[in-house]
Structure 1
Amino acid sequence: MNQSKKLTDGALLTSIFIVLLLVTFFVPFTSIFLTFVLPVPFIIFTARHDWKPSLVMLTAAIIISSLFATIFSLPITVMSGLGGMMIGTAIKRGFTAYETWARGTVGFVAGILFALLFTQVLFDVNIIDETNLMIDESVQMSRAMMEQFGLEEELLDEQFTLIEQQLEMFIDLLPMLIVMMALVQALISQWVGYKVMNRIEGRKLRFPKFHQLQFPVAIIWIYFLALIITLFQPDPEGILFIALQNVLMLAGFFMVIQGFSFIFFYAHYKKMSKALPIIVIIITLIFSILLLPLVRILGIIDIGFGLRERMKKKE
């Protein structure tokens, strides 16, 4: 009976995935939304039957999608499958929503890396080289336009040197950007998966309130360790420097999220209007250069010194 249930669920959910994939490929403007829905069949199946039967489902989805949506569908199928399986496995084992999110992020990172490798091998297209080429062409085109307005060549050299350095830093931060993309993909797909499973299975899966978010203290140690190593001025062209910049940016992002979470916690704790923290976030994003570092410091204090627990004890 259990085996029959697996086969029925696998066939049904694989069919749903293939239909969603075909709509994504052949119906304009749907890919923006359906990209976050594609992992849901894998989430549901893995949450019901664990990861080993899900590997069979993923294999079947790869074969069928390659036949109906061509080989170009392989990267998105693998990414959806890996991310969905990681989220579903975490749900199966009863992990918290944020632990599930972290595992889903790992799955989507693996899927994105597979997509980049697939592009490199099949089409002989190196994303980094192509991006560098595009940047060079854009800079040269912009410089030519500026020269037509009669600007001094020395001033142009200084400005475009600075622009090129900033764009090169963007390339160096590609690993961090991949993780950020995976974070967003995992968050939205997990949220959609929760809604669908709650509806069809009567579960009560949900994310805790944002003001309850608490990242582990280890993030602070990682952040400060990377910060200390940068004081020894590693080679800006070396792999160590690039890795440190990615770690600092990613850890700093988590500190900012923690800081925003504390603002929501403080408003909830003091029974203030829910609109107040939202207004604070909007103002912070508008004046991000001035205010984001302060929010990051607030997040560091909240994690490192247990600010919330101290407030509760004082009460």
Structure 2
Amino acid sequence: MNQSKKITDGALILAIFMVLLVISLIIPFLSSIILFLLPIPFIIYASRYGFKPSLLMFIAACILTAIFATIMLLATIVMGIGGLMIGSGIHKQRSAYETLAGGTLGFIVGLLLLFVITQTLLDINFNFQDIVTDSVEMSAGLFEQFGVEEQAGQIEEIIELQISYMSMLIPVFLVAVALVMAFISQWIGYKFLNRVDKQKLKFPPFRTLRFPSSIIWVYLMALILSFLITDPSNFLYIAVQNMLILTELIVLIQGFSFIFFYTHHKNISKFIAVLITVIALFIPIMLFFITFLGIMDIGFKFRDKLIEKK
């Protein structure tokens, strides 16, 4: 009975997934919205039956997509893997943030497969260096038209340095994109499961988010290495810069989380914490202060001391 129900649910959810694909093809302006709904069938099925049965459904979805909607095959791969990881985390009753970490990893794998497939099988070459060259040449042409040839060389050099540095941070951008996709998919998945399966899934309050103390040591190591390894042509330079940016982002999130905790702890309106967050996004010096606050909270456990004091 359980096996037949598993097959029936798989067929039904697979049919829903294919309907979403067809709608995205027929009504193009809805495709961007439906894109975030594609992981939901995988999340629902994996949350009920676990990873292995869901993997079979994922393979079946890829086969059907390749036959009936080939153009959406890459989207199916990316969203399917991310949905499987999120649903498996829910099935194993992991915490919301642990599930989010697994979903982020799933989307990273999916995006990497997307890159490999487009590079090898489809022969679509994303040459970032060509993009940089074209952008610089276009900027130089504009400068010449406005009669500022003397400054054009200096500005070109600055643009090249900035874009080259951004190209080195592609791994960080990849993680950021995967994290956003995982968060949106998981949040929508929680809403569906709470309504369909009568569960009570939700993200805990942002003020409770805390990262392990080991993050501080990784951040300090990356910071020290960034002063020692300064040659951009060195592979370690790229790795260190990505590690530094990623750990800085984690520490910054911890700082924002502490602000929400502090306002709640002192019975201050949440609006103040939201206002500080919005203003900080436009004032770099505030971001530096909040990053420092995150370091202090992780390293010296400010929250525990506040709770003990109270």
TM-score of the superposed pair, with normalisation by structure 1: 0.95
Correspondent of 1:293 among 273, 277, 288: 288
Correspondent of 1:143 among 120, 136, 140: 140
What is the aligned partner in structure 2 of residue 11 from structure 1? 11
What is the aligned partner in structure 2 of residue 63 from structure 1? 63
What is the aligned partner in structure 2 of residue 159 from structure 1? 155
How far does residue 234 in structure 1 lie from its aligned partner after superposition? 4.7
* Counterparts in 2 of 1:250 and 1:25: CA distance versus 1, 3 Å: farther
How far does residue 23 in structure 1 lie from its aligned partner after superposition? 2.1
Q: Summarize deviations over 1:169-207 as a string: whole Å, max 9, x none.
A: 111111111110000000010000000000011100000
Correspondent of 1:233 among 229, 254, 257: 229
Counterparts of 1:67-106 in structure 2, within 5 Å, are 67-70=67-70, 72-106=71-105
How far does residue 231 in structure 1 lie from its aligned partner after superposition? 2.3
Verify the 8 A CA contact 2:44 2:87 in the aligned structure 1. Answer: yes
Verify the 8 A CA contact 1:212 1:261 in the aligned structure 2. Answer: yes
What is the aligned partner in structure 2 of residue 25 from structure 1? 25
What is the aligned partner in structure 1 of residue 116 from structure 2? 117
Q: Summarize deviations over 1:104-139 as a string: whole Å, max 9, x none.
A: 000000000000011001222232x1x322222122
How far does residue 22 in structure 1 lie from its aligned partner after superposition? 2.2
How far does residue 88 in structure 1 lie from its aligned partner after superposition? 0.9
Which runs of 4 or more aligned residues in structure 1 lie more than 6 Å from their structure 2 counterparts after TM superposition? none
Distance 1:118 1:26 in 2: 25
What is the aligned partner in structure 2 of residue 312 from structure 1? 307
Distance 2:123 2:48 in 1: 39
What is the aligned partner in structure 2 of residue 171 from structure 1? 167
Verify the 8 A CA contact 2:139 2:156 in the aligned structure 1. Answer: no
What is the aligned partner in structure 2 of residue 254 from structure 1? 250
- Aligned length in residues: 310
Verify the 8 A CA contact 2:229 2:236 in the aligned structure 1. Answer: no
**1:180 counterpart = 2:179:** no
How far does residue 152 in structure 1 lie from its aligned partner after superposition? 4.0
Distance 2:300 2:248 in 1: 17
Distance 1:68 1:78 in 2: 15
Distance 1:52 1:234 in 2: 46
**1:133 counterpart = 2:141:** no
Verify the 8 A CA contact 1:234 1:240 in the aligned structure 2. Answer: no
Q: Summarize deviations over 1:132-173 as a string: whole Å, max 9, x none.
A: 2222212211211111221142x2211110111100111111
Verify the 8 A CA contact 1:61 1:77 in the aligned structure 2. Answer: yes
Correspondent of 1:204 among 193, 200, 203: 200
* Counterparts in 2 of 1:282 and 1:199: CA distance versus 1, 3 Å: same
Distance 1:23 1:168 in 2: 39
SS of residue in 2 equivalent to 1:105? helix
SS of residue in 2 equivalent to 1:30? helix
Distance 1:284 1:186 in 2: 25
Distance 1:209 1:27 in 2: 37
Verify the 8 A CA contact 1:101 1:187 in the aligned structure 2. Answer: yes
- Consecutive unaligned residues of structure 1, counting only runs of 5 or more, are none
Task: Write the letter of the residue equivalent to 1:174.
Answer: I
How far does residue 266 in structure 1 lie from its aligned partner after superposition? 0.8
Task: Write the letter of the residue equivalent to 1:121.
Answer: T
Aligned residues with identical type, % of pairs:
46
TM-score of the superposed pair, with normalisation by structure 2: 0.97
Verify the 8 A CA contact 2:118 2:124 in the aligned structure 1. Answer: yes
